[in-house]
C-alpha cells in the first residue's frame, strides 16, 4: 500500500519533529563513523585524519540537515514559530506601544464583541428546543390603532381548530403570584397560566412527574402546578417527593404534578406553570394572552403567512365590526423572523465596529510603522542574507498578530464583563428578568468574530509597514543603512498621517471632554428633597380570578382591583407612625421620563409646535394626586393635580418651571397635546394646563433640568404602580413593615424593590462615578495614544533627516536656518491637521447647533497641546542632528 506507507511517513516526518531530528543525527553519526573506520582500516590513515576525510566526503553536514528539514515540509513551521517568539519579545521590548496599542485594540475589539453578542442574542438567537427555530408566535395587529391586540382568545379557539401550517397551538398569560409553601415561606414567582399543549410544543420533558395535561384545563379539575427547577431547589430544597405536595399559588391550593429541568422558562422567564382554562370569549374581549405554535412539518414561513392572511381576511368579512382592522402575522418566537428585511441598524453594528477598529488600527499602524522604520537595518540585512520578501513581511505581520491576539483576549474578557453588566442593567431598567434563552456567556460566534477582528487589525497594523519596509531594493537598502538616515521614505503619506492624526485627535477630544464634564456636572446635582426620607417600591396585582368570578379577569377588572389594593395599602401606611405622605406615579423623579413632542394652543392662537429644552423634547410623567406635595414642590401658579383629574383621556396636567422658561410665559389655561416623537400623525388628546410647580432638580441625569409635563393617573391605569412613602426621618426601618402589610391587604398584591430613594440615588451615583472613571481613563489613554502617535511620527520624520542636517551644518549652514527648515516642515504638517480638525469641528458643531464656548475652549486647548507635542518631538532629534560632528556627517555620506 504505497499511499499508506507514504502517508504514514509524511505524518511522522511532519509532526514527530524531535524524533526526525534524532534519527537524522543518528544516521549521520553512524555514516561518518563507518567511513572513518573504513579509511583507517582500508587506507591506513590516522584516526584524526580519517575523520577529517570522512567529513569532507560526506559534504556540509548542516547543509544536508537543512535539505532534509525542507524535505520534511517543516521549515515554514519552524520559521513561523520563530516569528511568534519574536512577536512576543517585541511586546516586551516596546512596552509603551504594547500597552497603548494593546489597550486601544482591546477596546475596539471589546466594542465589536459586545455589539455582535447583543445582536446575536436579540436578533439571531433561537429557542433552545428541538427545532426551536420553528417555534412561532401569532401576533395580531390592529392597523387602525397601530398596536398589538392581545385579546385574541376568541380567535385562538378557531385557529386551534383550523390552521394547517401552524400546529400545536398554545396560549399563555403571565403574571406574578405569591407562592406559599407548606413551611409558610412566601415568594413572589413569575407564573404562566398556559395551555397544556405548550409542553409537547417545547419537546422538553419534565425532570420529575408530568407536565400539564389537557384534562387539567377542564372546569372542575383538581388545581395543579408544575414548578421550575430553581424554585424546586430554593423553596423545596430538592425534595425528591415534591410531586403530590400541595402549595398555595396566589389564592388557590394546588398539587405539584411536575418539575421542569434547569433553564426552562417558557414562554419568557416563568418559574411555575398552571393550567389556562380556555373559555369561550367574545371577539376582542377576555384577558390578554400570547399565542404560539410550531410550523407544521413541511410548511414554510411563507405558507404560514399566506394561510394567516386568508384566515384574517375571513375574520374581517365575517366579523367586520371587531376584525376589519385586525391582521394576524406569524413571527419567530425569538430573534428575527425569516424573510424580514435586514434593517439598517443590523448592519450599522458591523459598520461602526469596523470604522472604530480602522481608526484605532490606523493609529497603532502608525506606531508600528515608526518602530519598523527604526528596525530598517535589521530588515535589510535579513533580506540581503536571503530571507525572501514574503518571510520578512510574514515576520512583521506576525508581530502585529501577536499584539492583536493579546488585545483580542483582553477585549473578550472586557466584553464578557460588559455583557453581563449590560444585561443586568437592562433587566433592572425594564424591571423584567431576561428571557430564558438569553445566555450570559459569550457565544462561540462572538469569540470567532473577535478573532476575525484581530486578524483584520493585524493585517492593518502589520501589512502596510511590512510592505513599505521591504519595498526598497536590497542594494539601495544596504547603501542606506550605512547612513543614519535609512531609506524608508515617508513623503506625502507621512505628512498626511501626521495631519490626519492631529485632525482626528482634535475631532475626538472636545466631544469626549464634553461628555466627561457633563457627567461630572451631573454628579453634583442632587434632589430638591431629602431622599433618605422616602421609601419606594413597585406595586402590582396578580390576575387570578377571585372566588365567584368566572373566567380570567380582563385588564379593566385587574386595574380596578389594583387601585383598590393600592388605596387600602396607602391608607394603612398613612396610619403608620412618622409617615407624612403616600403618593404614586409611573416613575420616581429620579427615573428617566417618557419623552414626547408637544403642541400648545393658548389665547385662541393656532396650535404651535413647542421646542423642548432636552433634544427638542419634553419629559412626561403620570403621577397621582399629592405627588408634588410629597416631593416638596411648591405651586407657583394655578393648582395642583387632584384625584378627580385622573381617569379621563383629556385630564388636566401641570407643568414645571422649566416648561414656563421654554414657552416664555405663564402657561396656565393653555392646552397641550402630545405628538408621538418621530410620528406627526399620532396626536394625543388635548389637556388643559392647570398649574405650574417648582422643578424637582434631581441627581443624576441630564433630564433633571428638562421641561416636564405631569398628567394625573390613578393606580388603576398604571402597571406597575411606583409608590413613594415619605417619612419624617429615616425611611429604611419602614421597609419590613410595608412588606408585612401587603399580604394582609390582598393575597395577590406584589411589592418589589422596597428601598429608600437614597439607596436608589446612591447606587445610581456609584454607577455614574464608576462610568466616569472608566470613561476618563479611556479618554486619557486615547489622548496619550494620539500624543504618542504624533510624537513617534514627527520624531521619526526628523530623525530621517539627521544626515542631511549634519551635512548642511558641516558645510557651514547656519544652525538657526536649518532648525527653521525643520520646524517649518513640521509646522506645515501640524498646521494642516489643526486647520482641518478645527474646520470639521466648527462644521459639525454648527450643523448640530451646538457651537458653545466649551467646544471652542477644548478645541483651542487640544490644538495647543498637539502643537506642543509636535514641537517636543522635533526638538530632541533636531538637537542631536545639530551636534553631529562634520566629519561624522561626511563619513556617513
In terms of CB distance, is 33 or 888 closer to other proteins?
Answer: 33
Q: How far is the CB of 388 from other proteins (least distance, A)?
A: 21
In whole angstroms, give the CA distance from residue 590 to residue 531. 10
In terms of CB distance, is 64 or 476 closer to other proteins?
Answer: 64
* Sign of the CA dihedral with 806 first, then 812, 813, and 819 last: positive
In terms of CB distance, is 28 or 595 closer to other proteins?
Answer: 28
Please answer whether residues 327 and 140 qualify as being in contact, where contact means their C-beta atoms are separated by less than 8 angstroms: yes
Cis peptide before 102 (omega within 30 of 0): no
Please answer whether residues 483 and 803 qualify as being in contact, where contact means their C-beta atoms are separated by less than 8 angstroms: yes
In terms of CB distance, is 64 or 883 closer to other proteins?
Answer: 64
Q: How far is the CB of 44 from other proteins (least distance, A)?
A: 15
In terms of CB distance, is 72 or 151 closer to other proteins?
Answer: 72
In whole angstroms, give the CA distance from residue 683 to residue 671. 13
In whole angstroms, give the CA distance from residue 482 to residue 891. 10
Note the helical H segments in 205-290: 229-236
In terms of CB distance, is 62 or 604 closer to other proteins?
Answer: 62
Other CB atoms within a 10 A radius of the CB of residue 548 amount to: 5
Q: How far is the CB of 2 from other proteins (least distance, A)?
A: 4
Select from 551, 41, 108, 96 the least CA-distant residue to 289: 551
Distances (CA, A) of 589 to 142, 430, 721, 863: 34, 16, 14, 41
In whole angstroms, give the CA distance from residue 669 to residue 57. 114
Contacts (Cβ under 8 Å, ≥6 apart) of 294: 131, 134, 135, 136, 166, 167, 168, 201
In terms of CB distance, is 5 or 603 closer to other proteins?
Answer: 5
- Residues near other proteins (CB under 8 A): 2-6, 9-10, 13, 23-24, 26-28, 30-31, 33-35, 38, 57-61, 63-64, 67-68, 71-72
Please answer whether residues 890 and 810 qualify as being in contact, where contact means their C-beta atoms are separated by less than 8 angstroms: yes
Q: How far is the CB of 9 from other proteins (least distance, A)?
A: 5
Set of cell numbers at residue 750: 406584589
Q: Could you identify the residue written with the cell 456609584?
A: 766
Please, what is the Cα angle at 299 between 295 and 300, to 5 degrees?
Answer: 90
In terms of CB distance, is 73 or 205 closer to other proteins?
Answer: 73
In whole angstroms, give the CA distance from residue 632 to residue 696. 8
Q: How far is the CB of 873 from other proteins (least distance, A)?
A: 54
Q: How far is the CB of 40 from other proteins (least distance, A)?
A: 13
In terms of CB distance, is 10 or 634 closer to other proteins?
Answer: 10
Q: How far is the CB of 10 from other proteins (least distance, A)?
A: 6
Work out whether strand 618-623 and strand 608-610 pair parallel, antiparallel, or are unpaired: unpaired
Contacts (Cβ under 8 Å, ≥6 apart) of 323: 283, 284, 312, 315, 316
Q: How far is the CB of 29 from other proteins (least distance, A)?
A: 10
Select from 43, 202, 75, 214 the least CA-distant residue to 132: 202
Q: Could you identify the residue written with the cell 375574520?
A: 315
3-class DSSP state of 635: strand
In terms of CB distance, is 13 or 889 closer to other proteins?
Answer: 13
Cis peptide before 829 (omega within 30 of 0): no
Q: How far is the CB of 43 from other proteins (least distance, A)?
A: 11
Q: How far is the CB of 92 from other proteins (least distance, A)?
A: 38
In terms of CB distance, is 21 or 629 closer to other proteins?
Answer: 21
Q: How far is the CB of 46 from other proteins (least distance, A)?
A: 20
Set of cell numbers at residue 676: 408621538
In terms of CB distance, is 78 or 471 closer to other proteins?
Answer: 78
Q: How far is the CB of 82 from other proteins (least distance, A)?
A: 22
Helix (H) or strand (E) segment spanning residue 573: helix 555-574
Note the helical H segments in 708-756: 735-745
In whole angstroms, give the CA distance from residue 96 to residue 273. 58
Please answer whether residues 149 and 720 qualify as being in contact, where contact means their C-beta atoms are separated by less than 8 angstroms: no
Helix (H) or strand (E) segment spanning residue 856: helix 853-883
Q: How far is the CB of 426 from other proteins (least distance, A)?
A: 59
Please answer whether residues 407 and 106 qualify as being in contact, where contact means their C-beta atoms are separated by less than 8 angstroms: yes
In terms of CB distance, is 2 or 681 closer to other proteins?
Answer: 2
Q: Could you identify the residue written with the cell 431629602?
A: 530
In terms of CB distance, is 57 or 429 closer to other proteins?
Answer: 57
Distances (CA, A) of 598 to 605, 668, 673: 15, 15, 6
In terms of CB distance, is 13 or 488 closer to other proteins?
Answer: 13
Q: How far is the CB of 91 from other proteins (least distance, A)?
A: 37
Contacts (Cβ under 8 Å, ≥6 apart) of 163: 169, 293, 307, 308, 311
Q: How far is the CB of 34 from other proteins (least distance, A)?
A: 4
Roughly how many angstroms between the first and final C-alpha of the chain, as a whole number?
66
In terms of CB distance, is 33 or 682 closer to other proteins?
Answer: 33
Q: How far is the CB of 50 from other proteins (least distance, A)?
A: 14
In whole angstroms, give the CA distance from residue 103 to residue 78. 30
Q: How far is the CB of 74 from other proteins (least distance, A)?
A: 12
Q: How far is the CB of 789 from other proteins (least distance, A)?
A: 50
In terms of CB distance, is 7 or 868 closer to other proteins?
Answer: 7
Q: Which long-range contacts (CB under 8 A, 24 or more apart) does 61-70 make?
A: 61/28, 64/28, 65/24, 65/28, 68/24
Contacts (Cβ under 8 Å, ≥6 apart) of 256: 209, 224, 225, 226, 227, 242, 243, 244, 245, 246, 247
In terms of CB distance, is 44 or 664 closer to other proteins?
Answer: 44
In whole angstroms, give the CA distance from residue 498 to residue 831. 10
In whole angstroms, give the CA distance from residue 31 to residue 35. 6
Contacts (Cβ under 8 Å, ≥6 apart) of 117: 415, 419, 442, 443, 446
Amino acid at each position: 500500500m504505497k499511499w499508506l506507507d507514504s502517508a504514514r511517513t509524511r505524518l511522522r516526518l511532519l509532526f514527530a519533529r524531535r524524533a526526525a531530528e534524532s534519527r537524522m543525527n543518528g544516521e549521520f553519526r553512524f555514516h561518518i563513523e563507518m567511513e572513518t573506520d573504513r579509511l583507517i582500516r582500508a587506507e591506513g590513515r590516522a584516526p584524526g585524519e580519517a575523520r577529517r576525510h570522512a567529513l569532507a566526503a560526506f559534504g556540509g553536514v548542516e547543509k544536508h540537515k537543512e535539505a532534509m528539514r525542507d524535505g520534511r515540509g517543516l521549515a515554514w513551521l519552524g520559521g513561523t514559530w520563530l516569528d511568534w517568539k519574536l512577536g512576543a519579545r517585541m511586546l516586551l521590548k516596546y512596552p509603551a506601544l504594547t500597552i497603548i496599542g494593546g489597550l486601544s485594540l482591546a477596546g475596539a475589539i471589546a466594542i465589536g464583541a459586545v455589539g455582535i453578542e447583543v445582536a446575536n442574542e436579540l436578533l439571531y438567537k433561537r429557542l433552545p428546543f428541538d427545532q426551536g427555530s420553528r417555534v412561532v408566535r401569532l401576533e395580531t395587529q390592529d392597523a387602525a390603532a397601530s398596536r398589538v391586540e392581545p385579546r385574541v382568545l376568541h380567535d385562538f379557539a378557531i385557529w386551534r381548530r383550523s390552521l394547517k401550517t401552524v400546529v400545536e397551538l398554545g396560549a399563555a398569560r403571565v403574571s406574578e403570584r405569591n407562592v406559599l409553601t407548606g413551611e409558610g415561606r412566601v415568594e413572589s414567582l413569575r407564573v404562566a397560566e398556559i395551555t397544556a399543549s405548550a409542553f409537547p410544543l417545547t419537546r422538553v420533558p419534565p425532570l420529575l412527574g408530568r407536565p400539564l395535561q389537557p384534562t387539567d384545563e377542564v372546569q372542575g379539575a383538581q388545581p395543579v402546578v408544575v414548578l421550575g427547577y430553581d424554585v424546586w431547589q430554593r423553596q423545596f430544597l430538592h425534595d425528591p417527593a415534591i410531586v403530590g405536595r400541595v402549595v398555595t399559588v396566589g389564592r388557590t391550593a394546588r398539587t405539584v404534578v411536575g418539575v421542569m429541568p434547569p433553564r426552562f422558562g417558557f414562554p419568557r422567564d416563568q418559574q411555575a406553570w398552571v393550567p389556562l382554562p380556555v373559555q369561550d370569549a367574545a371577539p376582542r374581549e377576555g384577558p390578554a394572552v400570547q399565542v404560539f405554535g410550531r410550523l407544521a412539518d413541511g410548511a414554510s414561513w411563507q405558507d404560514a403567512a399566506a394561510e394567516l392572511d386568508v384566515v384574517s381576511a375571513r375574520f374581517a368579512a365575517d366579523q367586520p365590526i371587531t376584525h376589519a382592522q385586525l391582521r394576524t402575522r406569524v413571527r419567530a418566537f425569538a430573534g428575527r423572523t425569516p424573510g424580514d428585511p435586514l434593517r439598517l441598524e443590523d448592519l450599522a453594528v458591523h459598520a461602526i465596529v469596523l470604522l472604530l477598529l480602522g481608526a484605532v488600527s490606523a493609529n497603532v499602524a502608525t506606531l508600528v510603522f515608526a518602530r519598523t522604520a527604526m528596525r530598517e537595518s535589521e530588515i535589510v540585512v535579513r533580506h540581503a542574507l536571503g530571507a525572501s520578501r514574503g518571510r520578512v513581511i510574514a515576520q512583521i505581520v506576525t508581530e502585529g498578530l501577536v499584539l492583536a491576539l493579546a488585545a483580542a483576549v483582553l477585549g473578550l474578557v472586557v466584553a464578557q464583563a460588559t455583557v453581563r453588566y449590560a444585561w443586568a442593567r437592562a433587566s433592572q431598567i425594564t424591571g423584567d428578568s431576561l428571557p430564558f434563552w438569553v445566555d450570559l456567556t459569550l457565544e462561540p460566534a462572538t469569540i470567532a468574530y473577535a478573532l476575525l477582528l484581530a486578524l483584520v487589525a493585524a493585517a492593518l497594523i502589520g501589512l502596510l509597514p511590512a510592505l513599505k519596509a521591504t519595498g526598497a531594493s536590497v542594494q539601495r537598502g544596504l547603501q542606506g543603512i550605512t547612513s543614519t538616515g535609512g531609506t524608508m521614505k515617508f513623503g506625502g503619506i507621512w505628512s498626511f498621517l501626521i495631519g490626519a492624526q492631529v485632525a482626528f485627535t482634535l475631532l475626538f477630544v472636545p466631544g469626549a471632554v464634553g461628555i466627561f464634564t457633563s457627567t461630572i456636572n451631573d454628579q453634583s446635582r442632587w434632589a430638591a428633597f431629602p431622599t433618605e426620607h422616602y421609601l419606594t417600591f413597585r406595586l402590582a396585582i396578580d390576575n387570578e380570578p377571585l372566588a365567584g368570578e368566572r373566567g380570567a379577569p380582563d385588564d379593566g377588572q385587574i386595574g380596578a382591583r389594583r387601585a383598590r389594593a393600592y388605596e387600602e395599602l396607602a391608607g394603612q401606611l398613612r396610619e403608620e407612625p412618622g409617615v407624612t405622605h403616600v403618593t404614586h406615579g409611573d416613575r420616581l423623579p429620579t427615573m428617566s421620563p417618557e419623552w414626547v413632542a408637544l403642541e400648545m394652543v393658548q389665547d385662541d392662537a393656532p396650535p404651535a409646535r413647542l421646542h423642548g429644552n432636552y433634544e427638542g423634547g419634553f419629559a412626561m410623567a403620570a403621577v397621582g394626586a399629592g405627588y408634588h406635595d410629597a416631593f416638596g414642590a411648591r405651586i407657583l401658579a394655578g393648582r395642583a393635580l387632584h384625584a378627580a383629574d385622573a381617569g379621563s383621556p383629556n385630564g388636566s396636567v401641570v407643568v414645571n418651571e422649566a416648561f414656563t422658561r421654554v414657552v416664555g410665559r405663564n402657561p396656565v389655561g393653555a392646552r397641550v397635546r402630545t405628538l408621538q416623537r418621530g410620528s406627526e400623525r399620532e396626536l394625543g388628546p388635548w389637556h388643559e394646563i392647570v398649574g405650574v410647580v417648582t422643578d424637582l432638580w434631581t441627581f443624576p441625569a441630564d433630564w433633571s433640568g428638562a421641561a416636564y409635563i405631569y398628567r394625573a393617573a390613578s393606580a388603576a391605569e398604571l402597571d406597575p404602580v411606583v409608590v413613594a412613602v415619605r417619612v419624617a426621618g429615616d425611611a429604611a426601618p419602614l421597609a419590613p413593615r410595608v412588606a408585612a402589610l401587603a399580604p394582609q391587604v390582598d393575597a395577590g398584591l406584589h411589592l418589589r424593590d422596597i428601598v429608600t430613594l437614597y439607596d436608589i440615588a446612591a447606587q445610581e451615583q456609584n454607577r455614574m462615578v464608576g462610568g466616569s472613571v472608566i470613561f476618563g481613563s479611556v479618554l486619557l489613554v486615547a489622548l496619550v495614544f494620539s500624543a504618542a502617535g504624533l510624537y513617534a511620527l514627527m520624531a521619526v520624520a526628523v530623525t530621517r533627516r539627521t544626515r542631511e542636517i549634519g551635512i548642511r551644518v558641516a558645510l557651514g549652514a547656519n544652525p538657526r536656518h536649518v532648525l527653521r527648515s525643520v520646524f517649518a516642515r513640521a509646522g506645515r504638517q501640524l498646521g494642516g491637521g489643526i486647520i482641518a480638525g478645527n474646520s470639521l469641528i466648527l462644521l459639525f458643531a454648527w450643523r448640530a447647533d451646538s457651537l458653545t464656548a466649551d467646544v471652542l475652549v477644548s478645541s483651542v486647548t487640544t490644538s495647543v497641546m498637539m502643537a506642543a507635542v509636535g514641537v517636543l518631538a522635533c526638538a530632541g532629534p533636531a538637537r542631536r542632528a545639530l551636534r553631529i560632528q562634520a566629519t561624522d556627517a561626511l563619513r556617513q555620506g
